[in-house]
Amino acid sequence: MHILIVGAAGMIGRKVTDRLVLDGTLGGRALTRLTLTDVVEPTKPTDFKGEVVTLQSDLSAPGAAAKLAALRPDTIFHLAAIVSGEAEADFEKGYRINLDSTRALFEAIRQEGLKSPYHPRLVFTSSIAVFGAPFPDKIGDEFVQAPLTSYGTQKTIDELLLSDYSRKGFLDGIGIRLPTICIRPGKPNKAASGFFSNILREPLSGQEAVLPVPEDVRHWHASPRAAVGFLIHAATLDTAKLGPRRNLNMPGLSATVGEQLESLKRFAGEKALKLIRREADPTIQKIVAGWPRNFDPQRATALGFRAETSFDEIIRIHVEDELGGKIA
Catalytic residues: 151
Alpha-carbon gap, residue 91 to 77, rounded angstroms: 25
Closest CA to 275 of 194, 203, 324: 203
What sections of the chain are H helices per DSSP? 11-23, 64-69, 84-89, 91-95, 101-115, 150-167, 195-204, 224-236, 257-273, 282-289, 298-302, 311-322
Alpha-carbon gap, residue 47 to 59, rounded angstroms: 27
Closest CA to 227 of 130, 137, 317: 317
CB within 8 A of 316, min separation 6: which ones? 267
DSSP string, 46-100: SS--SEEEEEE--TTSTTHHHHHHTT--SEEEE-----HHHHHH-HHHHHIIIII
Distance of CA 31 to the CA centre of its chain: 23
3-class state of residue 18 by DSSP? helix
* Inter-CA distances, 292 with 6, 147, 220, 231, Å: 27, 10, 7, 21
